[in-house]
Amino acid sequence: MLLTRRRSFPAIPIPPIHLDCLVLLLLSAVTILGVEINSSLSFTSHVKKTAANAAGRLSCVRRVSHLIDARGVTNLYPAQVRFVMEYAPLTWSSCPPSYLGLLDKVQDRARRLISTKVLPDEQAPIL
């Protein structure tokens, strides 16, 4: 991985890096402890993948929601979906609002799913 403050990669050839007689490859992104960091040191691709993963998990919860009540969905949501979005929250600080909106959409979908399961005389649980 080449770390640079330039907007584009320099036109000069980058010499290979050797470590213990092995040539290290130049990567555009690296994943450390489940967090993806790209060559410009931003986490936008990580947040995008996190939102997609959380949306996929929420769709699984939605598919089984007809079998359980609002309390069951409320318990299933933090166990299956929310923990994915809460892992490494400091990575979100450098992301543009459009990417953070993807995570908000997942949260709103979960809120709508739970509110449709609540009877009119019951109070909706807080997420």
The answer to whether residue 119 scores a pLDDT higher than 60 is no
The answer to whether residue 60 scores a pLDDT higher than 70 is yes
Q: What is the pLDDT of residue 52?
A: 95
Q: Which residue has the tokens 């953070």?
A: 100
pTM of structure: 0.75
CA dist 68 to 71, 106, 117, Å? 8, 20, 9
At residue 3 the predicted structure's pLDDT band, cuts being 50, 70 and 90, is: low
Q: List the domain boundaries for the chain.
A: 40-117
